[in-house]
Amino acid sequence: EPEVTQTPSHQVTQMGQEVILRCVPISNHLYFYWYRQILGQKVEFLVSFYNNEISEKSEIFDDQFSVERPDGSNFTLKIRSTKLEDSAMYFCASGGMGGGVYNQPQHFGDGTRLSIL
């Protein structure tokens, strides 16, 4: 069964450094997402991406965050100048084939655990 893959599984970064989290969504999906889960808390929506542009973003997704789909397969989340509070599990998800965003439920990658020191 096709799956969403994320790399790395764990990233340790010094505060103030830039970090890029990578994701390969399911190939025929059209909608891509990033979510965040601070340890012990619920999963929170960060941003959705469709047709090569951001379609929606949450209040969490401020100017230090950016997303990109540099080629036909990868989907990246960049965090500039990381802060301690950015420490969390970051999940990539993809969904929605032709026929609309609800055509396929969102499938999540295994997550990248980001630790800011």
Partner 1 sequence: AQKVTQAQTEISVVEKEDVTLDCVYETRDTTYYLFWYKQPPSGELVFLIRRNSFDEQNEISGRYSWNFQKSTSSFNFTITASQVVDSAVYFCALSDGSSNTGKLIFGQGTTLQVKP
Contact residues toward partner 1 (CB under 8 A) are 31, 33, 35, 41-45, 48, 50, 55-56, 89, 91, 93, 95-96, 101-102, 105-111, 113
- Whole-angstrom CA distances from 99 to 8, 56, 113 are 32, 19, 33
What is the rounded distance in angstroms from the CA atom of residue 60 to the CA atom of residue 79? Answer: 12
What is the number of other CB atoms lying within 10 angstroms of the CB of residue 98? 8
Please, which residue, 24 or 101, has the CB nearer to partner 1?
101
Q: In the bound complex, what is the minimum distance in angstroms from residue 109's beta carbon to partner 1?
A: 8
In the complex with partner 1, the residue whose CB is nearer, 35 or 79, is 35
Q: Give the residue with the Cβ less far from partner 1, 19 or 34.
A: 34
Q: Are 91 and 106 in contact (CB under 8 A)?
A: no
Least spacing, CB of residue 46 vs partner 1, in Å: 9
Backbone dihedral angles phi then psi of residue 7, each to the nearest 5 degrees: -140, 150
